[in-house]
Homo-oligomer: A and B are copies of this chain.
């Protein structure tokens, strides 16, 4: 496994940055992955699609709630909503723009690509439960290492809906064997942000050949005595975009999330 030199062993220096301030920094051009940012505030994946495909995608999300938990949907053409007092076209640190399923640009400002028929889906992110994992004493390696979480496309298929289909994408966090049950228990309490792991151990059963070469994000070390634990990932919609080839899709760059005005505790099941 690859070892990543840690930038900080104590977590992100932006753990206390408030969401509106984080969005302002990103709007003004800061490009960074957001793991560890604005602790306690909910981060979201973004996918904006033409209105014509909106039902198919919303149904895809409904049928695949583990990777695609919908937090909110902005009306066609709307650029702000209850979860963000701002502008969805500029307030994410980095965007990926897809045309006919091909990644054509990574940019910090999606405004030039905006259309009035775009419907923006805000999708839960596993960053939400990372603070809860840390509070339960479960180490979160990529935060400790100051890198992006590793993400992998799997061989597992999502349930399709209309013109939308694709594979399940997962995040991986190495967990000490004695703490796997804690990791399951803690994350199961957040069903609307991916919830419990979809898979524990054996990456090959998911079709993942090499944990040191993630499809998105950065590799992290899996130490002796640790088990790779996999959670459904909000990049799944982007894998569906690549496969389903909508004429236009605007998404966040993996790990570069929208920091919303919702609190993680809003999504905690008591």
Contacts and interface: CB of A to CB of B under 8 A. Distances in A.
Interface of A: 51, 54-55, 58-59, 62-63, 70, 73, 75, 161-162, 188, 191, 269-270
16 contacts: A51-B55, A54-B55, A54-B59, A55-B55, A55-B58, A58-B58, A58-B62, A59-B73, A62-B62, A62-B70, A63-B73, A75-B161, A75-B162, A188-B270, A191-B269, A269-B269
A234 to B, nearest CB: 16
Contacts of A58: 55, 58-59, 62
A24 B249 CA distance: 45
A163 to B, nearest CB: 11
A62 B55 contact: no
A158 to B, nearest CB: 15
A48 to B, nearest CB: 14
Given A51-B55, A75-B161, 16 more contacts: A54-B55, A54-B59, A55-B55, A55-B58, A58-B58, A58-B59, A58-B62, A59-B73, A62-B62, A62-B70, A62-B73, A63-B73, A75-B162, A188-B270, A191-B269, A269-B269
